[in-house]
Structure 1
Amino acid sequence: MSGSGKTIVVFGATGHQGGSTARALLGAGYTVVGITRDPTSPKAKSAESHGVKLYKGDLNFPETYAPALQGAYGVFLNIDFWALFDGVDPLAAKAKEEAQGLAAVTAIKAAGVKHLVYSTLDSLGDVAHFDSKATIAGYVRESGVPYTLLYTSYYYSNILFNMLKEEDGALILDMGVPDEVIVPSFAVEQTGLWAVQAFKPEWVGKDMDVVGECMAISAIATGVSLVTGRKCETRHVTMAEFEADTKTDRGWHNNFKAMIDKRFSRSESESRKVVPDAWTFIQWAKMTGALDKYRK
């Protein structure tokens, strides 16, 4: 086992990315300390039952988690923008996330951590939840702490927010995006498979793409049809309609505009060299049962 008992501190150990990473690190032989605001929550207790050592800490207050960093070999850092977003002001959430990130990187450096793996996104200039992470990635690069940057992609599970069921039982994937747009995607449940590899010495100072499948919107709908046995259609939005849309949330719209412009892309082939068993969309649906409620 590669971990040899080294201690890794995982921020957000009860979240989607952090939880997956904690489990994978435990399986690889690492000692895992999970930072959580509420060690008594059901998710925290579940993590503890699998071997995670819980530590109560809050990213808003570095003094609460700084002691847990002392003596740790590595840190997995992921900050949840959406937990900071009030639904109205994305720039305020961006500022809060950047402040949390700067404080965390500062504390990580002060503790002498040997390897920081940070889950990040691209700098797009007009998508707050991307740009905040890109800013923090800049802090990481400049910190002097040995690092690896995980460039994650769209969660397969995000489509669940856009699934509609018609009265006749037909399904609609209502993304508001043209069918031909390619969406780099992955199973967030497998984040830890990449994170474990990222902690290997050969990944220090490098970027790692995290993607399972790059799919057109139309292909996602076809996949839903195959898994559920129900016909799934999109809204068949044209590129002209997408470009003219001024009503959709700007963050959402600009996110997909970046995919169209190739400012947000991932290498599926390079990612699969790191994690050959990364799930495709259909494998994710079958393994998690996420689409079972839509089955015929």
Structure 2
Amino acid sequence: MEPTGKTVVVVGATGPQGRAVTRHLLGSGWEVRALTRDPEGAPAKELASAGARMEDVASLLAAANGAYGMFSVQPTVGSPGTAPDFSAEDEVRWGINVAEAARAAGVEHFVFTSVAGVERHGSEVLPRNLVSKWA
């Protein structure tokens, strides 16, 4: 595939959604900056070997600088690899941080992915890991 000359930052690049997005972008000629909570983990190393540049989560704004686009999926309460005390408030804060970094860096195309259909259920019947999606 012909290189686009444009970069997309993928936040949550080693999870199921982020990994699929990263592979698709790489296969379509995009440069990818892949952010993950565990850059030394096997999924991160696999993406790096496919051509994604791995970035540390702490460098979110630096990763967004100069990027054309950003794709973001945050961990939810109970996601594998999250701390036992990771809360819905933490997820919301992470999402805000990603959006603010994209805005500050002048990212032109921003995709924030979440859960479809959460509005079909009342917040009192949602599984614990989807409560933040209701808010």
Q: TM-score range by the shorter chain?
A: 0.7 to 0.9
Segments ≥4 residues shifted beyond 4 Å = none
Match of 1:18 in 2: 18
Corresponding residue SS for 2:66: coil
The partner residue of 2:98 within 83, 104, 121 is: 104
Q: How many residue pairs are counted as aligned between the two chains?
A: 126
Counterpart Cα distance in 2 of 1:111 and 1:133 = 26
Deviation string for 1:128-157 (max 9, x for gaps)? 54342354xxxxxxxxxxxxxxxxxxxxxx
Match of 1:120 in 2: 114
What is the TM-score normalised by the length of structure 1?
0.39
Match of 2:74 in 1: 79
Amino acid at match of 2:69: G
* 8 A contact 1:120–1:134 mirrored in 2: no
Amino acid at match of 1:37: R
Corresponding residue SS for 1:116: strand
How far apart are 1:56 and its partner, in Å? 1.1
Bigger radius of gyration among the two: 1
Match of 1:56 in 2: 56
Counterpart Cα distance in 1 of 2:61 and 2:99 = 11
In structure 1, stretches of 5+ residues that fail to align are: 59-63, 136-296
How far apart are 1:37 and its partner, in Å? 2.8
What is the TM-score normalised by the length of structure 2?
0.80
Amino acid at match of 2:55: Y
Corresponding residue SS for 1:19: helix
Higher RCO (C-alpha 8 Å, min separation 6): 2
Percent of aligned positions that are identical: 36
Alignment CA distance shift 1:131-1:109 (3 Å): farther
Counterpart Cα distance in 2 of 1:103 and 1:2 = 32
Q: Cα RMSD between the aligned structures?
A: 2.3
**Counterparts of residues 170-181 of structure 1 (less than 5 Å):** none
Counterpart Cα distance in 2 of 1:117 and 1:2 = 23
